[in-house]
Structure 1
């Protein structure tokens, strides 16, 4: 994997554009698809992109070359999604809630307490619902979903305050992604939502700029948050899918056969990632406890009740009337 700075990326994109004007003989080279991810390379998400890239390269005889850029090398989550929309970047793996800033309806699939369990999420995202959301994403922003992965169940961490019920969240400075539904969730708990890009999180926690954060266990582990957080609070408030998004124009330039190869490789790599995430989730609470965190099992209903009392109604106009209830019925 090549480390690329944002400056290198912009220069490379300019060079690629210039290459289009070169004679056909000079352009007889691999099709390069740049695939970004905000997660560190020790997380299964960017690892699955590498696995998919190797399979794609092998099955196309090297005609398609996937270049992967983990750890937010190409900017913040918003930067990367905007780059895919504009065509400056080919692909990104990102959470659905952030994509809601571009297509409001899609954020519902990462809403707090929308899923009963991971099986409910998987079943819904293989239903016509995903086709409908994908159609809107393509029409409005020139992007499409070509893969869905399981990112994990999100839990809280705290630096200095034990959290046993939602009452303990009053005034708590909670880092959340730069997403309105996450802010609303924190507010329903009585916390003070503090939106930060993921790449800024470790430093903010270490300096006390925020009191805590929320993420799945594999992310807490890969980002080494146990070094700067004392308490792991098993709230399980969101079951999170992540989406593999591609620029629609770049996708349409591939042959149908090549698109099938890319989809198949992503599906295989995603299945590996999903299994790896589940495996890690089964043991990481104990692992993080042994690393020095105090593991707490809070009053779950106290967290759930205020969110469900306010959030579905607050975002109904954004998601579409009846969509929450429809998903609950799947």
Structure 2
């Protein structure tokens, strides 16, 4: 009995010794389950690439970082989700700089009217000094912005009455705009009549001629079926819009440095892929909208830029954003004010 008892004790002790490093290894691999919220449909390139991103992060971290995606405003409006991000209710959130400007005023500088002539100038600015400056301002709100901004596309003007080919075509033109000082200021400077209307009411407002037109990226014009109540689509490219991939700072700091590196790498890689997807999507949408009866025209942005300059639009917003931010913008797009 004594021999058997000693054998059992030795075996138990050995098993306990072997289990210690295993328990220690699992203790080191604390799982992090984070929520990522956005306002786009699950079929949008952003969500398609985000799913790939989350899967890749889960695989490379061996399940330590599990990002659950909540698309299409499932967790509330942009304002609701921004509040949740700040409080830690969600850990990740993508938001337009034009809306983030309610918290970080500098974030809307990327939407200055007719500033960017093309995508090359957009990425030069947003992947360069201007983007770095905006991220620094976002950090002051205790939010982390990833290095690469995602694309929402250039915004275009649609109309039920005429193509918008020159600034004169906007004189007195009743155009729906989001509730934003930057939009209202720009269209007033172009002598249009901007009207703020909730997007849910845009289709009926166009149908009943409360407004003559509206402005949005092509994907929105298509998915909202605005071609049913608008005849013309002018490829004005009057504003560019992108989505910052934002993280709750406390949640981000909880991740060990090696996991932060993996997550950031996959998020930024997904952003680059999504940009290419959106560019391809927009090319196809022009053809699609044309087949659905919309007349597409390509106005010259130079005349619109001149009108904004003469109206003092650029000088006004340069004063609001400050000389430093404005100089960074002009390094990528040329002289505006």
Q: TM-score, length-normalised on structure 2?
A: 0.80
For residues 8-32 of structure 1, give each alpha carbon's deviation from its aligned partner in whole angstroms, at most 9, with x where no partner exists: xxxxxxxxxxxxxxxxx9xx98533
In structure 2, do the counterparts of structure 1 residues 142 and 269 end up closer, same or farther at CA, with 3 Å as the change threshold? same
Counterpart in the other structure of 1:272 = 273
Shift of 1:143: 1.0
For residues 126-184 of structure 1, give each alpha carbon's deviation from its aligned partner in whole angstroms, at most 9, with x where no partner exists: 22433332222222x22121141222222111234443332232333322233221221
Q: Give the distance between the partners of 1:54 and 1:202, measured in 2 at CA.
A: 37
Q: Give the distance between the partners of 1:55 and 1:97, measured in 2 at CA.
A: 30
In structure 2, do the counterparts of structure 1 residues 161 and 312 end up closer, same or farther at CA, with 3 Å as the change threshold? same
* Matched pairs, number: 303
- Structure having the higher Rg: 2
Q: Give the distance between the partners of 1:76 and 1:103, measured in 2 at CA.
A: 18
Q: Does 1:122 align with 2:139?
A: no
Q: Give the distance between the partners of 2:165 and 2:48, measured in 1 at CA.
A: 35
The runs of 5 or more residues in structure 1 that have no matched partner are: 1-24
Q: Does 1:325 align with 2:327?
A: yes
For residues 59-112 of structure 1, give each alpha carbon's deviation from its aligned partner in whole angstroms, at most 9, with x where no partner exists: 222222222222223333333223322322222212112212211122112212
User: What does 1:166-185 align with in structure 2 at a 5 Å threshold?
Assistant: 166-185=167-186
Q: Give the distance between the partners of 2:89 and 2:236, measured in 1 at CA.
A: 38
Q: CA RMSD in A?
A: 2.5
Q: Give the distance between the partners of 1:203 and 1:36, measured in 2 at CA.
A: 29
SS of structure 1 residue aligned to 2:90: coil
Q: TM-score, length-normalised on structure 1?
A: 0.82
Shift of 1:235: 0.8
SS of structure 2 residue aligned to 1:73: coil
Counterpart in the other structure of 2:9 = none
SS of structure 1 residue aligned to 2:109: helix
SS of structure 1 residue aligned to 2:63: coil
> 1:42–1:222: 8 Å Cα contact kept in structure 2?
no
SS of structure 2 residue aligned to 1:94: strand
User: Relative to structure 2, which stretch is displaced further, 127-136 or 104-113?
Assistant: 127-136
